[in-house]
Homo-oligomer: A and B are copies of this chain.
Amino acid sequence: MTETDLTFPRGFRAAALAAGIKPSGRTDLSCVASDAECAWAFAGTRSTTAAACVTRNREVYARGGPVRALVVNAGNANAATGAQGARDNAAIADALGSVLNVDAGAVLTASTGIIGHLLPMDRVLGGVEHLPDGLSREAAPFAAAIMTTDTRPKTAEATLSTGARIVGTAKGSGMIHPDMATMFAFAFSDAGVDQAALRAAFPGIVARTFNAVTVDGDTSTNDMAMVLANGRAGEVDLAEFLAALEGVMRDLARQIAADGEGATKLLTVRVTGARSEAEALAAARTCCVSPLLKSAVHGNDPNWGRVIMAVGRSGAAVNVEGMRVTVQGTPVFAGKPLPYDAARVSDSMNAPEVVFEVDLGAGDAAGEAWGCDLSAEYVSINADYTT
């Protein structure tokens, strides 16, 4: 959902303002604060050139304590900025902690935007001073302020049987091939959940949601996904909570894929018959990242041979004789090419979502991944970003 009246769960408030990091003058600095300590889980990029915010959040995570706030800037990733970048990142957490009167070690940070430029710290710290003035339950200003090349904000919510809620927000449009999380996904809940149990379940949820999204195969230096639960709505059933959280994250993941840079449609690949969930997800995601399949989807071309190609390079075990492929529900391959009405299938691909189903014929595991078509617009968006 992207409704403007979405509110954060009990105890969470957010603020956003234009600090002048983005040349466009759009909002680019925001925070979310909880009036109670939050149990939390986190997943950050596997990139070996991870940004300062990812590195620092990992340190806070390793200490194991609860957190109280998150501060986000868009327009500058503060990545590849060396020791100065690390100091700037810590200074932002210190400043927000100070104005909110919470310990700096309970403040998480997130930066997104161009790589390789130092933050304009005067503007950032000046903005942080004014963040407390705008704190409210409204989610829309925060969801907008974390965007870069996104064309629309991305939010999702779930309400548990006890009345506890989960509200998720995400941003991401290019450099999307998360390898732990996408850049960014934040979920907030007033449910009471055990932090250890949450942390144990989180990697699996991320694997089936954000790590199943790809726009261009490029993994960001700043990817992160996190969930903060402050317990203000009381204890909940853990299994119900985790299922609802996965639903929120899956919704956000699909929104990210559909809003991929230059995208005109969502690409969904469902794989069954795999030896393992990991192989099913690998096969599905390799299809979604293939520039050749993405181009075919853009042109409504039912060129299913590119699915066979992508599955083949994914490393997933296949039994070609037992393989099955459908395009928008039409069977096109079952151990051998099947006759089908190409014009009719092409017409059916002229839709907001194109679905390929692939049975690998090698086992019982399944997985699903999401991407988008590749358009000429992707190239024009990315051929002239800095200059």
Contact = CB atoms under 8 A, between A and B. Distances in A.
Interface string A114-141: 1111100000000000000000000000
A176 to B, nearest CB: 10
A47 interface: yes
A179 B333 CA distance: 25
A314 B217 CA distance: 11
The 4 closest A-B pairs by CB, nearest first: A115-B305, A299-B383, A49-B312, A295-B382
B290 A49 contact: no
A50 B114 CA distance: 40
Contact of A387 (B300, B308, B310, B386): B300
**This protein's copies in its complex:** 2
B80 A337 contact: yes
Given A342-B386, A379-B374, A116 B217 contact: no
A330 interface: no
A interface bracket (residues with beta carbon within 8 Å of B):
35 or more
A177 B313 contact: yes
Best-surrounded residue of A291, A295, A301, A385 (most CB of chain B within 10 A): A291
A380 interface: yes
A372 B349 CA distance: 30
B217 A318 contact: no
Interface stretch (A1-9, A203-211, A218-226): A218-226
A306 interface: yes
Given A302-B387, A333-B116, A312 B379 contact: no
B49 A318 contact: yes
A359 interface: no
